[in-house]
Structures are given as structure tokens and as C-alpha cells.
Amino acid sequence: MKLLGLLLLSASCLISAVWTARTVSKHITPQEQDRYQKIFAEGLKSGDLQSLYFSSANVVAADKTPEACKKLNNVYGESKFNDFEKNFYFTGVWKNFGCKEPVPAKIMESVKAALQKDAGSSQEIYFNLHAAKNLNLPIDETVEAQLGKNLQNVLKKDDSLNSLGHGFAVASEIGTHGAFAHDRVEEAFVQADEVDGKMLQFEGGLSITALVVNNAFKLSNNLKKAAPINADQAVKFATYFLSRSSVQTPKGVSILLEALNTLTGQKAIAPICVMLSGNGQLLPESPILSVKVSDLLGKPLSSALAVVSTTITPKGSTEPLASKVNLVQSNTDATVYTYNLKSLNPSRGQFKVNIDAGTYKQSLKINVLGKVKVNSLEIGVGDSDSSSAVKKHTVSFANKLDTELTADAQQKIVLKVQLVDEITNKPINVHQAFVLLRNKDTKQEIIFVTEADYSKNYKFEMDVGARSSDFGHKSGVYSVELIVGDALISNSFKWLVADVNVKFSGDSLKASDNHARQPLPEIVHQFRVPEKRPARLVSDLFTGLCIAPLALLFILWAKLRANVSNFPLSLSAIGFHLGFGAILVLFGIFWLQLNMFDTIRYVIPLGLVTFLCGNRLLRTIAARSLEK
């Protein structure tokens, strides 16, 4: 499977060589370099040990005051990294700051002890070894042999990309004792993923990709072995790294710059940047082609190119405008090469530019701009049914028609313009040719697209009555402006042609329109008129009939001589009767105003008290009956 992956990777690189050879179309710009320095400056102020390390390693004027070294001890104590990582970052920052005070004894002893024992991962070996180097601890042949044996055992257990990347870094530091790791380099690069046929990266993103690439090259260079990748793969890795130029952390910026420096330093396979200097728009009065040729960091090439030539071909043509003409290096910028196309008299259009600099090749695209000229323009008003000829007025470019036109709902506005190339005087088509109408009072605007006819004349025709709704039926004086623009012309313009007094509709439409905008009458909610109540005598009679059974109850009790003397004066008896009465009263209130849910909420506690008291009362009465 690894062999198959390597074959596919090589095949993809051969395919990509068709469109480019050892070149990329981007580099790290000065603006990005400035942003990186600001990131490092902020990293020096942070309380993160890792940010301090990468920032101090990349800032030229790092803070080397005693206060910074004292601050470092506090940062070390608060760090959440593993001990071996903390030791590495601490000693690295200590070295970068140039602290005069000795390293704390606790850290010194920890680094010495870690160097003597076998580590559990290649990352741990890497951090321990480099922490010792930061402290200038002696690393003799015996220590190197021990580290090499430890690393070999670790890589047998863990061959992940992270483990291999750190393993390559350790192997590059221990000489021949790490030579075995070079056999794993090919195994690592086979795992690279190709993106869109243009980039190579490892799973894990920038950190893992930079780790493997940087340390694989370091190991190969130290062992004087061939580069681990070929030139086409270097282009794809460089393209990936440059796509990540927006990184925001000190670590990300540091490893990105290290990776680009690593690839730039490989003279045999290093890609270079070949791109247009500027926006690629060549003005007709000075059509100067400018090409930037630099390394990946935007710096001049260490070895100047002997010849940089170009072949320029119009788009859609196979006949070149210029073939293998040499570009001239700029006197003010060593990365810029120029060629003046003035002698070639290029016509307006798009061109393909093939740059050839020995083994470096790149294909670019430029636009040669032209100038547009208004050959003629006519504007007029006529009947919309075309029964009569339109009365046209000719207007010269940049001037405004001196008379105000008038158009009503039964008429149409017509504008016709011919655009020509200023040099050839031939009619041309443009991307944008619009007519804008603006109400002078309300500033309302509406834009129409003109249409080109068979003779390349642009025509605008608006039926006033049919377009009335587009303008909100707002009559008034409208200015008519012609807007012309194109990606291939340098003098796009907006031209105020004339004023037109437009009358969209009659008084009836205005009246109905105004009426439609009047506020509607307020809607007031009305409740249903209550039904007529019966007479007071009828109501009182009905109420009396309802109370009659209660009066009858007391009359019957008196007639039957009800014995109430046996009523037990106990808490349960009083509670039962009061609770029962309260329930009856609650039912009456429910009938008058309460809803069912409120009634249930009140009746539950009343019913519970009444039940308990009633149960107690019945038990008392039963006990008395048994005593008799």
C-alpha cells in the first residue's frame, strides 16, 4: 500500500508539471512580515510559556531585562505543560533572553535526570535533548548511543506522523546513532494528502506538516543524503505552506517561516515565486509588463537568474504577439523584471504570458487596457405606438442637452449611442452600458440596461406609461445619465446627457393614488349588547323560591324537635361542620365568579381537613354509642 501511495504521489506531480515547473504564484509579503512581528511582540507579553519561547526565538530585539527573567520563573510555575515540555520551553526562553542568573537548580537537575533515563515517546526524547542543549550540558558518544537506542524502540511502538517528525529531529542531532531513522522518511512522506492537485499536506495541518518537512530535510542534510522529496512535491508543499500565511499564533508563524526557509534553502529543488507585480492591468499609454521573481519569503534569489524571457499570446489565438523576449531587471527592485509592450502596439484584450527562466516556468494572464470613445449619441421622445417618428437630439460627449425634454404616459424615451475604440475607431462591445434616471427632487434612481444591436450600437427605449409603476407614479424632472464600464478600458465614465420632464399619469390616477394612501377608519371593538333582564319582582320571587327549602329545613327541625344538645363540643366536630360549610360556600362562589381550576385548588385543602375532622367525629360518636 505504501508503494502504491508513492506511485500515485509521483504520478500526480508529473501531471502538475504540465502547467507549472518549480514555481508558485504567492510569497510572504512585507505586510505579512510586519503582522508576524506584531504577533511575536504580543507573544512576549503573554503568560504562556510556549508563546514566549517561539516569540523570543524570532524577535530580533527580545526583552533581555532581569525583570523578564524573573517573570519567567512565575510563568514556569503556572504552566500546565508536561515537565519535559516546560523544561524545554523554559530553557529555550532563558537562552533567547540571555538571562545572566543561573537556571534554577530544580530545573537543572530535572533536565539532567531526564537525559539519563529512557523516555516513553519520541516527543519526550526531543524535548529532553534540546533542553539539555539549551543548558549547554555535555552530550557525549555514550548519551547519543543511549538516545538512539531509546528512539529506535519508541518508533517501533509508535510510528505516527507526530512521533516520526520528532524522531527525525532527534536523529539529526545524534549523528550516526540516528542514521536508522532515515529509512522511515519515505514511509512518512507516502502519507501526504494531495489537495486539488496543487497542494500536499499531512493530516494534522500546519504543525504536523511543518514538523515532518523541516526535520526530514534536517536529517537528510546532516547525513548527506538526497532530498526526501522531488522538485514538484516541493512546489506543492510550498503552495500549502503559503496558503496558511494567515496564521495568528507565535508557534504557527514560527513553524511556517521555518518550513519556508527550509524549502528555500534546498537549491536543487527549491521553488520560487513568479507572479505579476501589480494588478496585471497594462495602461494603453505605457503597457509595461512587470513580473516579480523572488524566493518564498519575497526576497531576491540568492543566485541571480541568467535570463528571464516571456512569450505573450492573445487570448483565443495561437499566434504570439512576442516570442521569447527578455525581461529587464529593475534598478530599484532586484525582484522585479519588466518589458515594455509599446513597440508591439498591443490591441485591447486579454493575453497569456508564459515566463521562462531555465528550469522555472510560470503561466500568467494580463489585461491590456484600451480607451473608449463616444462616436455618436442621440436622445429623443416619441409616441409609444411608433405611429410618428421620434424627434432625436444629438449630444456631444461630456456635454448636456441644452433643452429639457418632455414625455407623458403616451410616449417613450429613446437613447442610442455608438462606442468605438479610441485607437482603431472601430465599434466595440463593453461589459457595462447602463442608463440611469434620477428624480431631481426626491433623488430616487432607477437603472436600465442598454442592448447592443447587430451594428454594435447600444440602444435604450422606455415606454413611460408601461414603466409608471417602477417609478411609483412620481412625475417630475429626471436626469438621464449614461454609465459605461469594462474590465478592459481605462476611462470608464458616467455622463449626464439630458433632463426629461416625465408625466406618468393623469389627475384621476393621482387622486385615486392619494385616496389609497389615506388612513383607514379606526376599528373599535364592540361587545354584544346584553339581553334584557326580567323585572325586579320576578327576580326577587325566584330568589325567594330558591331560599324556601332552607327555611323549610329549619321549620321541620323545630317541628320535629331536633336534639342538638348532644352535639359534641370538640375540635373535630367544629372542624367538620365549618369545613363542610366552607365547601358549600365555595361552591356558591364558584357559581358566581371562580373558574373550575381555582375552585379545585381551594376545595382540595378544605376537603382534606373536613375528611379528617369528620372521621374523628364519627369515631367519637361510635365510641359513645358503645358505652351506652
| Residue 20 pLDDT exceeds 50 | no
List, for residues 285-340, the tens digit of each pLDDT value: 889 999 999 999 999 998 888 899 999 999 988 899 999 999 999 999 999 999 99
More confident residue, 185 or 506: 185
List, for residues 112-122, the tens digit of each pLDDT value: 998 888 888 99
Nearest Cα to Cα of residue 151 among 173, 176, 119, 112: 119
Cβ neighbours of residue 345 closer than 8 Å, sequence gap 6 or more: none
What is the CB-side half-sphere exposure of residue 97 using CA atoms within 13 A?
A: 25
**Cell reading at 74:** 512565575
Per-residue confidence band for 534, with pLDDT thresholds at 50, 70 and 90: confident
Judgement on whether residues 427 and 512 belong to the same structural domain of the protein = yes
The residue-averaged pLDDT of 338-358 equals: 91
Q: For position 628, what pLDDT does the model report? A: 60
Helix, strand counts (H, E) of the chain: 17, 22
In single-letter form, the type of residue at position 430 comes to V
- How far apart are alpha carbons 197 and 9 in whole angstroms? 10
Judgement on whether residues 380 and 507 belong to the same structural domain of the protein = yes
Q: Map residue 422 onto helix, strand or coil.
A: coil
SS (H, E, C) 66-86: HHHHHHHHHHHHHCCCCHHHH
Judgement on whether residues 412 and 487 belong to the same structural domain of the protein = yes
Q: How many structural domains comprise the chain? A: 4
Region at 324 (left for phi over 0; alpha for psi -120 to 50; beta for the rest): left
List, for residues 384-425, the tens digit of each pLDDT value: 876 567 889 999 999 999 999 999 988 899 999 999 998 888
521 is a domain residue? no
Q: What angle in degrees, to the nearest 10, is found between the helix axes of 30-45 and 250-264?
A: 140
Judgement on whether residues 331 and 408 belong to the same structural domain of the protein = no
- How far apart are alpha carbons 19 and 619 in whole angstroms? 107
Per-residue confidence band for 564, with pLDDT thresholds at 50, 70 and 90: low
618 is a domain residue? yes
The residue-averaged pLDDT of 362-373 equals: 93
Judgement on whether residues 338 and 379 belong to the same structural domain of the protein = no
Least confident of 130-139, 304-313, 540-549: 540-549
Radius of gyration of the chain (CA): 47
Check: CB of residue 332 under 8 Å from CB of residue 326.
no
Judgement on whether residues 317 and 411 belong to the same structural domain of the protein = no
Least confident of 86-90, 157-161, 340-344, 518-522: 518-522
Q: For position 153, what pLDDT does the model report? A: 93
Least confident of 426-440, 450-464, 514-528, 579-593: 514-528
What is the CATH classification number for the domain harbouring 463? 2.60.40.10
Judgement on whether residues 500 and 410 belong to the same structural domain of the protein = yes
Mean per-residue pLDDT of the chain: 87
| Residue 131 pLDDT exceeds 50 | yes
583 is a domain residue? yes
Q: For position 6, what pLDDT does the model report? A: 40
Judgement on whether residues 261 and 308 belong to the same structural domain of the protein = no
Per-residue confidence band for 10, with pLDDT thresholds at 50, 70 and 90: very low
391 is a domain residue? yes
Q: For position 516, what pLDDT does the model report? A: 52
In single-letter form, the type of residue at position 208 comes to I
Q: Which of 491, 516, 541 is the last residue of a domain?
A: 516
More confident residue, 592 or 249: 249
Q: For position 61, what pLDDT does the model report? A: 54
20 is a domain residue? yes
Domain that holds residue 337: 272-368
